[in-house]
Every structure is written in C-alpha cells, then in structure tokens.
C-alpha cells in the first residue's frame, strides 16, 4: 500500500517525456522550414545585391550570408534549433528547481530535520515544488512510514529510505536531460556542415583559378561561400557547447542538492532512532 502513489507519478513523468519528444519532432522540421524561408525571402532579397542581381556582388551582410550557398539555410536551422531547445531546457530545468532558491530550500529542510520536524519539512516541499522537492518529499514520506514500521530493524529502515530517494531521483532526473542530446549532436554536425561548405567553396575557388581566364567576381563568391559556411559552423558549435555545459552544470547542481538532502534525511533517521 505504501508504494501505491508510484504508478500515477510514473504516468505523469511518462506523459511529460512524451510531450518533450513530440516537441522535438515538431521543432526540428519547423526550424528547418523557417531557416529556408529566411534564406529565400529575406537574405535572398534582390535589394541586398548590386543592381538587384542575386548572382552579382552583395552590398550588405544579408547578401554576403546568402552568397554562402544552399548549405547556409541548414546552418541557420542548426542555430535556430540551439536557441529553441535552449529555451525549452531553461523552462524545464527552471520548473524542476521549484519556486525558490534551491540552496536556501535545502538549508531550510536540513534545519527542520535537525529540529526533528518532519511535517514542517514536508510542508516546505509543497511550497517549493519541482523535481528536487518531489524527491525530498518522497524521502520524508518514507521516513514517516518507517517510523510506524515495527517489523524492520534500523539498518533495514535506513536502507529503505535511501532506496526510496534513489528511485524517486531516477524517476525525476532523466526528464531534465531529455533533448540535451540534440544540443550535444549539434556541436558535431554544425562543425561538419560548416566544414563541408568550406570545402565546396574552396573547390569552386580552385576550379575558377584553374581556368584560362579567372573571373574575379566568381572567385570572390566562392571564397565568400567557404568563409560564410565556416562562420556558420563555428557559431553553431560554440553556442551549442556553451548551452550544453550550462545545462549539465545546472542539472549537476540539482542532483547534488538531492543527494545532500537525501543523505541528511537518512542520517537524521539513523541518529534519532538509534538514540531510542
């Protein structure tokens, strides 16, 4: 009976994971479509080229980026994906942190534990909300259940509390890491796509140089294509690395807060009941 709430909680997490997967499957093609539209109708507007000729010399940064060729919208879609998934992760991790500062919340819980006020600690979890509070509340609930259990010895009770906290953590934490693999993947494919554009641009440049009469305009356009794609790849990889490291750092902080408080719950139970 004590484990009855586990099923609905698991169902909620599965639904959240499913929504996150649907979001990813929709966000990726939308980002690609938006990038293509920007490339065609904004960057490719004739006003960005001298004489209104899109095959001519660009007159501003928009035309310069458009001259990077057909790999540019792909690189732009990568940047849009990084932005979209970063915003989504900020929202998810923010909700997981709860309504207040996590460190302050942990200190309050530890204060209630030291005072032996489990009910107040549980009420504090209800105020905080989020993944950290959910895990700690699960541990506190198990704490009270073990106090009423007369069949287990102290070691078995503390182990049961510790196991409950670990299970609750395993249920909450994967949701925070979902879609981070997309950001991590963009680090690699952003670089590789930029490199491919660079190679294609340089092939065109050397092909122009090998001709009997070098067209400086076409040579300049080929070099521009190579450099624009290089810049796209570097930008995508740089932003992806920064955001990925930022999110993993935040998740590690939440995990540490859970581990620290979970340890306090177990130690408090062991100390208070050993004395008895």
Which residues are CB-contacts of 56 (< 8 A; sequence separation ≥ 6)?
49, 50, 217
Of 13-17, 70-74, 166-170, 190-194, the range with the lowest mean pLDDT is 13-17
Is residue 11 scored above 70 in pLDDT? Answer: no
Q: What is the DSSP string of 53-94?
A: -TTS-B-SHHHHHHTT-TTHHHHHHHHHHHHHHHHHHHHHHH
Q: How confident is the model at residue 175 (pLDDT cuts 50, 70, 90)?
A: confident
Q: What is the pLDDT of residues 113-126, one digit of tens each?
A: 989 899 999 999 99
Q: How confident is the model at residue 4 (pLDDT cuts 50, 70, 90)?
A: very low
pTM of the model as a whole: 0.86
Q: What is the pLDDT of residues 188-244, one digit of tens each?
A: 999 999 999 999 999 999 988 887 677 787 888 899 999 999 999 999 999 999 999
- Specify the pLDDT at position 12: 57
User: What share of the chain has pLDDT > 90, as a percent?
Assistant: 67
CB-count exposure of residue 70 (10 Å: 0-12, 13-18, 19+): exposed
Which of 138 and 150 is assigned the larger pLDDT?
138
**CA gyration radius for the chain?**
28
Alpha helices in the chain (DSSP H): 6-37, 61-66, 72-97, 102-114, 118-128, 130-148, 154-177, 180-209, 216-275
- Specify the pLDDT at position 221: 86
- Specify the pLDDT at position 220: 86
Measured CA to CA in angstroms, residue 12 lies from 7, 15, 167, 171, 179 at distances of 9, 5, 15, 10, 18
Q: How confident is the model at residue 3 (pLDDT cuts 50, 70, 90)?
A: very low
Measured CA to CA in angstroms, residue 102 lies from 46, 72, 97, 201 at distances of 53, 42, 6, 50
- Specify the pLDDT at position 5: 43
Is residue 2 scored above 50 in pLDDT? Answer: no
Q: What is the DSSP string of 94-127?
A: HHHH-SS-HHHHHHHHHHHHHTT-HHHHHHHHHH
Is residue 171 scored above 80 in pLDDT? Answer: yes
C-alpha span between 265 and 110 (Å, rounded): 8
Q: How confident is the model at residue 14 (pLDDT cuts 50, 70, 90)?
A: low
Q: What is the pLDDT of residues 52-78, one digit of tens each?
A: 888 788 899 999 999 899 999 999 999
């Amino acid at each position: 009976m004590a484990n009855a709430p586990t099923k609905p909680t698991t169902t909620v997490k599965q639904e959240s994971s499913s929504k996150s997967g649907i979001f990813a499957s929709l966000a990726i093609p939308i980002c690609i479509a938006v990038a293509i539209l920007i490339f065609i109708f904004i960057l490719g507007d004739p006003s960005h080229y001298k004489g209104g000729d899109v095959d001519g010399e660009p007159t501003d940064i928009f035309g310069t980026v458009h001259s990077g060729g057909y790999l540019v919208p792909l690189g732009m879609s990568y940047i849009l994906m990084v932005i979209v998934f970063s915003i989504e992760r900020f929202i998810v991790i923010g909700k997981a942190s709860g309504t207040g500062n996590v460190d302050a919340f942990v200190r309050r819980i530890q204060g209630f534990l030291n005072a032996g006020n489990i009910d107040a600690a549980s009420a504090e979890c209800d105020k905080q909300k989020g993944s950290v509070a959910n895990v700690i509340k699960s541990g506190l609930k198990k704490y009270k259940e073990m106090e009423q259990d007369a069949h287990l010895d102290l070691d078995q009770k503390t182990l049961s509390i510790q196991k409950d906290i670990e299970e609750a953590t395993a249920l909450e934490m994967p949701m925070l890491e979902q879609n981070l693999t997309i950001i991590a993947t963009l680090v690699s494919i952003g670089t590789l796509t930029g490199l491919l554009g660079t190679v294609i641009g340089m092939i065109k440049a050397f092909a122009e140089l090998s001709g009997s009469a070098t067209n400086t305009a076409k040579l300049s356009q080929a070099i521009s294509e190579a450099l624009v794609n290089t810049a796209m790849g570097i930008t995508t990889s740089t932003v992806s690395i920064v955001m990925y490291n930022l999110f993993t750092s935040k998740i590690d902080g939440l995990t540490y807060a859970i581990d620290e408080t979970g340890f306090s719950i177990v130690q408090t139970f062991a100390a208070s009941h050993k004395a008895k």
